[in-house]
Structure 1
Amino acid sequence: MFGGDLNKLTATLITVGFPLLFLLIWSGGALFSKLGLQYANTWSFLFLRAALALVLLFVLFGRKVKYKNMGLQTHAIEKSELYRIIISGLLLQVFYLIFYFSAIQTQLSLGIIILILGIQPIVTKLMASAVLNKIDIILLVMCFIGLGIATLGYHNIEQINLIGIVLAIFALLSITFGTVIQARITTEPVLTLLIQTISALGIFAVLTAVNGFVFSFNVYSLAALIWMGAIVSVGAFLLLTLMLRFRSAEKVSTLFFLLPLITMLFESVFFHTKLNGLTIAGDILVCVSLFLYQFKPFSAKK
């Protein structure tokens, strides 16, 4: 009776609901990271973020085992699958963050970092697609041009250095390869993220021990930690994993074009920064190009 409606609802969630929620959560993460790092050093904040996420994931996994599997089902994972889980987790949750924050610490202008990371959907398309469509490539290039226009209109390009650029490129490679590998994982999402978070926590624990633990506990730092540890590290990553199960890696990766734009919008609302005409024009170009890429309204129906 409700099968058709449920299928339509599921399709709507996958194509619209999940991506929109992911974008809002991940974009908000940029603001909460900025807030949290005012009261902590980078590695301490990332360590606590991973620790909080791990606690929540253990709770979620325990509930799934108890109530869904009745405590009887084992979760055997093939060695090759386990390697994929660990490698993609290290790339997405460890190396990407290490290179990203290290690039920022070199004083490289944020606009340059955004532009370098903005290449990610194009690189993912080239890596993951068996057949390259000329129109798809043109639309992705238009998205990148729009991102460049919006970024240059919003961020001042003041500091450029080779070390920062190299680190940003490594961050780009980490998130690109991590996304492609993550799309090949078939293990249950909560268990996948649990294994990945354990690996991340171990590395951030070592970095925190080497660099010293610095975290000032107050309402603002705890709010930032809860958002990044619970909402982003668990909620957003589970959404990303689910989207990669139902949609191709190159389709999902194009959402990253919108992340800097939504962050700019959030900053204009909460920090009263101004969006000039150049930034708005770039935003429109990205949105139109991305809509055409995702839904292809011009394509003939089969």
Structure 2
Amino acid sequence: MSQISQFLPAVTFVCLWSTGFIGGRLGTPHADPLTFLLIRFAIASLLLAALAALVGVKWPRGRAALHLAVSGLLVHGAYLGGVFIALSLGVSAGLVALIAGVQPLLTGAMSGWLLGVPVRPLQWAGLGLGLLGVLLVVWEKLVAQTGVPLLGVVLAVFALFAITFGTLYQKRFVVPGDLRSATAWQYLVCTLVYGAIVPWLEPMRVDWTPEFMFALAWLVLVLSVGAILLFFTLIRRGSAAGVASLMYLVPSLTALMAWGLFGEQLGPLALLGMAITAAAVALVNRPAKAAPVSAAREA
């Protein structure tokens, strides 16, 4: 029972995280994508700031606040901006989720270059498999339907690199602190930056339909606040590894939900590509084998 109690919250987090692409797909027809995100960032920053103030946690200051701002602009601002614009241009939620799902592979490969962390041959093999899986899905989408915009795919790839560099930057420069105040600060920085540039990029159209308000409430409360706090709880319980091992299921779960809600079709080639990508990420997430005791003594 103890293993189930530790595993179930991790599964819950991954399932909730998978709905982020669905919420974006549901809301972007009713609002300009960056305007949608501006509203989301503003509300989420206020809620998390109120929670942080309520429990009396410390806020980041000085250089720590600056590093958090940079990583937040990459992980939240640039990443979600690319994802939401791609969705608004007509790229399917399943395809965007699959491209974003390559992030653990790309992070592992680039960590050797940027962080000096040795990259195992298994990780390079996993990256190659993951890219093959994405190419299979993209190829089928492009062949099966002419409505897949190349710009949208490029922006999804941009989002992939943004969250990868943001993750590596955070690992390299961000000092661990309270997740609630740190995330509230990151959302606030994104709100200020988006507030300055979005009026120049979009007409800021918002149709306050019930569907849009549901998508906004879901993304703010369930994703930006609920899922983040759940992840915070998992870290405190030492279950973060369980979450990492399940993240490769996100693209498949997203594609399944998109099929049920929006009728997004997946052909045999796309299913094969998703399976290959999931296997690649699972392969890379396998821990390295410990060196034999005798070899360690000889060293």
Same fold (TM over 0.5): yes
Of 128, 144, 159 in structure 2, the residue corresponding to residue 141 of structure 1 is 128
Across the aligned residues of Structure 1 and Structure 2, the Cα RMSD in angstroms comes to 3.9
Mapping 1:48-197, distance limit 5 Å:
48-65=39-56, 75=58, 77=60, 79-102=62-85, 117=100, 119-129=102-112, 130-153=117-140, 156=144, 158=146, 161=150, 167-183=155-171, 184-197=174-187
Residue type matched to 1:134 in 2? P
Give how far 1:298 is off: 8.1
AA aligned opposite 2:181: L
> Is the alpha carbon distance of 1:165 and 1:80 closer, same or farther for their aligned partners in structure 2, counting shifts above 3 Å?
same
Partner AA of 2:257 in structure 1: F
Measured in 1, the distance between the counterparts of 2:138 and 2:232 equals 28
Partner of residue 222, structure 2: 231
TM-score (norm 1): 0.74
Aligned partner of 2:136: which letter? I
Task: Pick from 156, 181, 188 the counterpart of residue 198 of structure 1.
Answer: 188
Give, as a single letter, the amino acid of the residue that structure 2 aligns with 1:133. Answer: R
Structure 2 distance, partners of 1:171, 1:285, is 21
Letter in 2 for 1:200: C
Task: Please give the per-residue CA displacement for 1:156-210, whole angstroms capped at 9, x wherever unaligned.
Answer: 464565x666645543331111112233440110010010011111122234444
Task: Give the conservation status (yes or no) of the 8 Å contact 2:102–2:281.
Answer: no
| Equivalent residue, structure 2, for 1:45 | 36
The answer to whether the 8 A contact 2:35-2:205 is kept is: yes
CA distance in 2, matches of 1:63, 1:238: 15
Give the Å deviation of 1:150. Answer: 4.2
Out of 103-112 and 120-129, give the one that drifted further. 103-112
Identity %, equivalent residues: 25
Gaps of at least 5 residues in structure 1 are 70-74
Q: Give the 5 Å matches for 1:233-252.
A: 233-238=224-229, 252=244
Paired residues, number? 282
Structure-2-length-normalised TM-score: 0.75
Kindly state the Cα deviation for residue 248 of structure 1 after the two structures are TM-superposed.
Answer: 9.4
With over 3 angstroms needed to count, the CA separation of the structure-2 counterparts of 1:34 and 1:274, relative to structure 1, is closer
1:271 to 243, 246, 262: 262
Structure 2, gaps ≥5 residues long:
294-299
Q: Which amino acid aligns with 1:122?
A: L
Q: 1:151 to 1:207 in 2, by over 3 A?
A: same
SS of aligned partner of 1:38: helix
Aligned partners of 2:256 and 2:121: how far apart in 1? Answer: 31
